[in-house]
Amino acid sequence: MSTGSYWLETVDDGSPPRPPLDGDARVDVAIVGAGFTGLWTAREVLRRDPAASVLILEAATAGFGASGRNGAWLTASIAVTPGELARRTSPATVRAVTAAMRDTVDQVLRAADEDGIDAQARRGGVLRIARGVHELPSMERNHATLQRLGIADGLEVLDATELGARVRVDDARGAILDPHGAAIHPGRLVRGLARRVEDLGARIVEHTPAIRIDPAGRGAGTAGPRVVTDRGTVTADAVVLATEAWTSQLPRHRREVLPLYSLIVLTEPISDARWADVGWAGHELLSSHRLTVDYLSRTPDGRILFGGRGAPYHLGSRISPAFDRHGTTHALLRTQVADWFPALSDVAFSHAWGGPIAMPRDWLPSITLDPSTGIGRAVGYTGQGVGTSNLAGRVLADLLVHGDTPFADLPMVGHRPRRWEPEPLRWLGARYVQGAAARLDARAARSGRAPGTRGLAQRLLRH
Express each pLDDT in 237-286 by its tens digit: 999 999 999 999 999 999 999 999 999 999 999 999 999 999 999 999 99
> How far apart are the two ends of the chain, measured CA to CA in Å?
35
H or E segment to which residue 348 belongs: none
pLDDT tens digits, 41-85: 999 999 999 999 999 999 999 999 999 999 999 999 999 999 999
pTM: 0.95
Per-residue pLDDT at 245 = 98
Per-residue pLDDT at 452 = 62
Per-residue pLDDT at 119 = 97
Mark out the alpha helices in 341-424 (DSSP H runs).
385-401
Alpha-carbon distances, residue 260 vs 58, 157, 360 (angstroms): 21, 32, 11
Alpha carbon distance 40, 108 (integer Å):
10
**Which of 317, 325, 311, 330 has the alpha carbon at shortest distance from 360?**
317
Alpha-carbon distances, residue 442 vs 283, 399, 445, 450 (angstroms): 28, 46, 5, 11
Residue 402 has phi, psi (to 5 degrees) of: -110, -15
Alpha carbon distance 190, 95 (integer Å):
29
Residue 78 contacts residue 184 (beta carbons within 8 Å): no
Alpha carbon distance 420, 10 (integer Å):
37
Beta bridge partner(s), residue 370 = 375
Buried b (16+ CB within 10 A) or exposed e, 28-37: bbbbbbbbbb
Per-residue pLDDT at 220 = 46
> Where in the chain are the domains?
17-120+186-257+360-420, 126-179+258-359+423-461
Residue 335 contacts residue 266 (beta carbons within 8 Å): no
Question: Which sign, positive or negative, has the C-alpha torsion 268, 269, 272, 278?
Answer: positive
Mean pLDDT per block of 10 residues along the chain (463 residues) reads: 95 86 98 98 98 98 97 97 97 98 98 97 98 96 98 98 98 98 98 97 98 82 86 98 98 95 98 96 97 95 95 96 96 97 97 97 97 97 97 98 98 96 94 87 79 57 55
Does domain 126-179+258-359+423-461 fall into CATH 3.30.9.10? yes
Does domain 17-120+186-257+360-420 fall into CATH 3.50.50.60? yes
Per-residue pLDDT at 219 = 56
Question: Which sign, positive or negative, has the C-alpha torsion 135, 136, 141, 147?
Answer: positive
